[in-house]
Structure 1
């Protein structure tokens, strides 16, 4: 497989994953205070939304790159 085909497949898979999941979330730990052996930590839940147009664009660009990868050979 050429690099163009692999890139096209990766873009399509990432675009579909972003389209169906809509985003992802993660937990970030922060240390607020440290008083001797006592430590106060706070867990913040962060979320990242992936726009639908970006996911559809990634699938479309991936398809074009994949087709061009097959046409070169």
Structure 2
């Protein structure tokens, strides 16, 4: 399997995951305080939306890469 077909599969899987989940979350550490034996830490959870068009575009582009014929 050549590189373009592998990239096509990755785009299809990523597009399907984007459509299924709609985004992803991550935790960002914002503040940290150490005062003697006292340790305080604040973490903020954020959500990143993935647009619908990006998921559909990934699936379509991946499909095109799978059916494209390479020059030999």
* TM-score (normalised: structure 2): 0.86
TM-score by length of 1: 0.85
* Structure with the higher helix share, 1 or 2: 1
Q: Distance in 2 between matches of 1:32 and 1:4?
A: 45
Two-structure CA RMSD over aligned residues (Å): 1.5
Contact 1:11 1:61 in 2 (8 A): yes
Equivalent residues in 2 for 1:17-32 (5 A)?
A: 17-32=17-32
Q: Mark the runs of 5 or more structure 1 residues left unpaired by the alignment.
A: none
Give, in whole Å, the separation in 1 of the partners of 2:30 and 2:55.
Answer: 31
Unaligned runs of 5+ in 2: none
